[in-house]
C-alpha cells in the first residue's frame, strides 16, 4: 500500500499505553486531527530526543485538539516504562509485528525495522502532511498546522 498526501489514512488497531482495549484510529480518534509518528525503538538516543520534542510541544497541539500518537515495534510494557521515564502526556502504541507500520509505508522488511516518519491527519483522517526528517518533524508539523489554520482548513 502506498501512502500519499490527501489520501485517507488507513484504520488500524494497536495496544495502547492508555488502556486495556486496543486503540482503534477511526473509533477512538473520530473527528480528531492526529499526529501519528513512527519511530524505531524506545530508549535509544535519537528516538528519546524525538519523543521529548513531541512532549515539549504537546501543549501547542493539545490547544488545537490534535491528538499525538507515537508508534514503534516495542511491546506495551516497554512503552509504559518509556512513557513514565520521560513523562509523556500522549499515548504510545505497540506494533510488535510491524503491521501498522506496513500500512503506513513505515516498515523496512529486509531489516525488520520501523522507519522514522510522521503523518499529520485532519479531522477526517486524510493525510495533510508527511515528514521523513527527524529534524523537520516538530518545526514542519508546527508550520503546517499554522498554515492550515490560516487557510481555515479543518484540522
Q: Which long-range contacts (CB under 8 A, 24 or more apart) does 131-140 make?
A: 134/46, 134/49, 134/50, 137/37, 137/50, 137/53, 137/54, 138/53, 138/54, 138/57
8 A C-beta contact, residue 97 and residue 60: no
Beta-bridged to residue 120, according to DSSP, are: 35, 129
**d(Cα 62, Cα 41) in Å, to the nearest integer?**
25
Residue in 14, 25, 35, 47 annotated catalytic: 47
Active site residue 47: yes
Residue 63 grid coordinates: 490547544
Which residues carry out catalysis?
Answer: 47
Amino acid at each position: 500500500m502506498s501512502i500519499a498526501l490527501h489520501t485517507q489514512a488507513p484504520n488500524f488497531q494497536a495496544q495502547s499505553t492508555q488502556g486495556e482495549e486496543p486503540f482503534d484510529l477511526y473509533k477512538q480518534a473520530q473527528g480528531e486531527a492526529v499526529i501519528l509518528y513512527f519511530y524505531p525503538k524506545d530508549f535509544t538516543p535519537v528516538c528519546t530526543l524525538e519523543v521529548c520534542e513531541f512532549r515539549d510541544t504537546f501543549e501547542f497541539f493539545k490547544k488545537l485538539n490534535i491528538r499525538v500518537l507515537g508508534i514503534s515495534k516495542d511491546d506495551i510494557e516497554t512503552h509504559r516504562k518509556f512513557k513514565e521515564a520521560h513523562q509523556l502526556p500522549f499515548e504510545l502504541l505497540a506494533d510488535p509485528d510491524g503491521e501498522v507500520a506496513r500500512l503506513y509505508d513505515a516498515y523496512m522488511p529486509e531489516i525488520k525495522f520501523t522507519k522514522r516518519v510522521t503523518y499529520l491527519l485532519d479531522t477526517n483522517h486524510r493525510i495533510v502532511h508527511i515528514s521523513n526528517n527527524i529534524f523537520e518533524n516538530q518545526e514542519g508539523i508546527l508550520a503546517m498546522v499554522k498554515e492550515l489554520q490560516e487557510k481555515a482548513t479543518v484540522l
